[in-house]
Structure 1
Amino acid sequence: MGSARLSINHSAIAANWRALAALSQGETAAVVKADGYGLGAAAVARTLAREGVRSFFVAVAEEGAAVRAALGPEPRISVFSGHMEGDTDMLRAHRLTPMLNSVDQMLRHVEALPGHPFGIQLDTGMNRLGMEPSEWAALRDIALEQNPVLIMSHLACADDPDHPMNAHQLENFRAMTDGINVPRSLAATGGILLGPEYHFGLTRPGIGLYGGMPFEDAETVVKLEAPVIQIRDVAPGETVGYANSWTAQRPSRIATISAGYADGLIRAMGPRALVYAGTRPCAVVGRVSMDLITVDITDLDTAPEMLTLLNDQQTVDDLAEAAGTIGYEILTSLGTRYKRVILG
């Protein structure tokens, strides 16, 4: 087998949702945008629907259509980007719920799809999506007359529990929505962990479902194993890889594995990343290239046939730290060449 193998543990995804739901007040939804954070939105959504999830969130209408095809007519599927120009037919045909972000989107929606369910997204300080306080004050009464099904906002710094922005956004959200008889949502994974005052009527975990921080108690969801293509002996003073970036300081055995930056393994991780033979760490040496990574296996007793890049010892966040990025980017970058195996 020339391709690396990506195992996706759906039992762990389900367990992570149950754990986050147990911490939440009210309904617990699930975010399956970006193709289920790179792990397959249709399969992930079906697993979570069997756990009892009845509300799903995606980024754009096209993602919502794919999730609807996987789940059938019952669950609510909400679209963070709202009602974009050209979305009307898709929203109608697939019964998607746009989270309206602006006055223009509100006008487009009520004119194009009168009576069609919608939600509202408010900007409480992130300055990314949602109606600002002045817009909301002007539109609030008119919008509420149209019976929105949800009002939400998004926390900018929830992965840092001590950041003052969390309390600031909570205060703003309450000021903009207290007294409104509509379900509310503020907390994604990080917000759930901040405590019940952030939960309101619905929480919407994303990264925590897939084993990522800040949910430290998450079960490991992904395992990534790459086959060894070739092993060679390298003498002291010889170099490995592009630009002669690594020089052997001792007689070394170097394994070349079938994975690279074309598979989402970011080039910058090379000098700091580890690869595992069972539970034994081995250093990546030389540069990560498009299709190949070279690994120092000198200290292993036997030549491995496979080496592991993601497992219980090295999570997506560990690999992300080596690459100077975040676990979200590692997950959503995992490429199409992997042989994907669904467990559980």
Structure 2
Amino acid sequence: MRVDLDSVAANCRVLAAQVRGDLMAVVKADGFGHGAVDVARTALASGATWLGVTALSEALTLRDAGLRAPVLSWLNPVGADFGAGVRAGVDLAVPSVAHLAAVAGAAGDGRSAPARVHLHLDTGLARDGAAPEEWPALCRAARSAELDGRVQVVGVMGHLALADLGGPAPNAAGRAAFDHGLDVARAAGLRPRHRHLAATAATLTDPAAHHTMVRVGAGLVGIDPSGSTALHPALTLTAPVVSVRQVPAGTGVGYGHAWTSSRATTLALLPVGYADGLPRAATGRSEVLLGGRRHPVVGRISMDQLVVDLGPGSPVRPGDTATVVGTGDDGAPTAAEWARWAQALEHEVVTGLGSAPPRVRRRVTTHPTWSPS
């Protein structure tokens, strides 16, 4: 698998041009399967000023790689090692009073630097973040911990449920909930410098949701959930032809003979399958680029192999290279097409592909130094 970091850089510049405030590059799930450290470095050199992840372990991986930019981790159990995060200068999202107590306890008595926290408000997903009825108590507790010197409330965050629909209208309720949450936080005496609600889709379609910072992850690797902006895919998966065989009409292929040849044809075997992240649900609909043309994948996609119907008299030979997933520049199928064939999300495809095959990346960039802000 190859990751073109030039495309990541170009996408980041497009996204950064949409906003006046800070841009947080979200590199969770190993940078959406593209390599968290390299995507982070590239984004920081291309307009991003912050990094974001879910798990604290992901944030510590970035620190271990030498990245010193501000980094936020926002999805951790109450029993997480928050002390390690505080010592590494990681900002921590707090979705409950229990989380706040754990983070404040990890920060100690204030003789060391206080923990930098972002209070997390649920604005309509009924998922992560404090429920609206719990929000006032969380804000009051956070102000008390701030006065004790154990935490510094530097941010308030939320997430929109309907931003993928595109445009401001679907986000109206979520924006209103976030605005009310900010009013409650201010009434409790909090003055958060960073306020962030928009992810990729709202960054591209709803300026009213931008506040002081936006969080973009999928957009960095060429995915626009709103379908409003042309971003460039960065991932290419190729595979060598293992073998080629001529078969007569009536030949069944793969488990269950889900496909049977209707004519004499040439079949090529590729050593990739669902263990490498290709969605098995794309069986019967998917294609690959081989020998300058697209050819259908036939039979069921197996754990580590698939079969391609090349048609009669194909010049393809063992050792030739097929492009299984590409950027679309040369006619190869894209991750978006694989997602459509599998009736899945493009996010699912790229994160699945990134979990197994070896990677080769182009253009590893440098990063700026970190200073708390």
TM-score range normalised by the length of the shorter chain: over 0.9
The change in CA–CA distance for 1:105 and 1:20 in structure 2 (over 3 A counts) is: same
Per-residue CA deviation, residues 295-339 of structure 1 (Å, 9 max, x unaligned), is 111168521511111111422121111112111111111255523
* Separation (CA, whole Å) in 2 of partners of 1:326 and 1:299: 35
1:94 aligned residue (82, 88, 91): 88
Letter in 2 for 1:68: R
Specify whether residues 284 and 163 from structure 1 end up closer, same or farther in structure 2 by C-alpha distance, changes over 3 A only: farther
Distance 2:316 2:17 in 1: 45
> Which amino acid counterpart does residue 350 of structure 2 have in structure 1?
L
Letter in 2 for 1:86: A
Q: Does the C-alpha gap of structure 1 residues 257 and 22 become closer, same or farther in structure 2, counting only changes over 3 Å? A: same
Counterpart of 1:200 (choices 211, 222, 226) is: 211
1:195 CA displacement: 2.1
1:56 maps to which residue?
51
Partner of 1:225: 238
| Equivalent position SS for 1:272 | coil
Contact kept in structure 1, 2:167 and 2:206, CA below 8 Å? no
Instruction: Describe the SS at the equivalent of 1:23.
Output: coil
Task: Name the structure 2 match of 1:3.
Answer: none
CA distance in 2, matches of 1:135, 1:88: 22
Task: State the Cα distance separating 1:41 from its structure 2 match.
Answer: 0.9
Deviation per CA, 1:20-61: give whole Å up to 9, x if none. Answer: 010123111100011111121112112222224331111111
Kindly tell me: are residues 226 and 197 of structure 1, through their superposed partners in 2, closer, same or farther at Cα, counting changes over 3 Å? same
For structure 1, the residue ranges without an aligned partner over 5 or more in a row are: 1-5
Quick one: distance in 2 between partners of 1:253 and 1:27?
Answer: 54
2:324 is aligned to 309
Query: 1:334 maps to which residue?
Result: 353
Aligned partner of residue 237 in structure 1, secondary structure = coil
Contact 2:277 2:356 in 1 (8 A): no
* 8 Å contact from structure 2 (residues 244, 266) kept in 1: yes
**Change in CA separation of 1:291 and 1:83 when aligned onto 2, cut-off 3 Å:** closer
Q: 1:250 aligns with which of 254, 263, 268?
A: 263
Gaps of 5+ in 2: 147-151, 364-373
RMSD between aligned alpha carbons?
Answer: 2.0
**TM-score, scaled relative to structure 2:** 0.85
Corresponding letter in the other structure for 1:320: A
Paired residue type of 1:172:
A
Q: Give 1:88 deviation, angstroms.
A: 2.4
SS of residue in 2 equivalent to 1:47: helix
The alpha-carbon deviation at position 111 of structure 1 amounts to: 2.6
Give, as a single letter, the amino acid of the residue that structure 2 aligns with 1:202.
M
1:266 and 1:323 in contact (8 A); partners too: yes
1:177 is matched with which residue? 182
Give the match's secondary structure for 1:289. coil
Corresponding residue number in structure 2 for 1:40: 35
1:296 is the counterpart of 2:309: yes
Distance 1:21 1:162 in 2: 18
Amino acid at match of 1:189: T
| Alignment coverage as a number of residue pairs | 338
In 2: Cα distance, 1:172 partner to 1:315 partner: 37
Amino acid at match of 1:231: V
Task: Identify which range, 96-105 or 78-87, moves more after superposition.
Answer: 78-87
The question of whether the paired residues in 2 share the 8 Å contact of 1:56 and 1:77 is answered with yes
**Displacement over 4 Å in runs of 4+:** 162-165
Alignment match, 1:259 = 272
Contact 1:25-1:196 at 8 Å conserved across structures: no
- Which whole-Å deviations, capped at 9, do the CAs of 1:200-221 have from their partners, x for residues lacking one? 1000101010112325411120
Q: Residue 167 in 1 paired to residue 172 in 2?
A: yes
How far residue 279 of structure 1 moved from its aligned partner, in angstroms, is: 5.2
What is the CA–CA distance in structure 2 between the aligned matches of 1:130 and 1:24, rounded to whole Å? 24
Q: Which amino acid aligns with 1:343?
A: R
- Structure 2 CA distance for partners of 1:143 and 1:55, relative to 1, 3 Å: same
Deviation at 1:273, TM superposition (A): 0.8
Q: Which amino acid aligns with 1:281?
A: R
TM, length-normalised to structure 1: 0.92
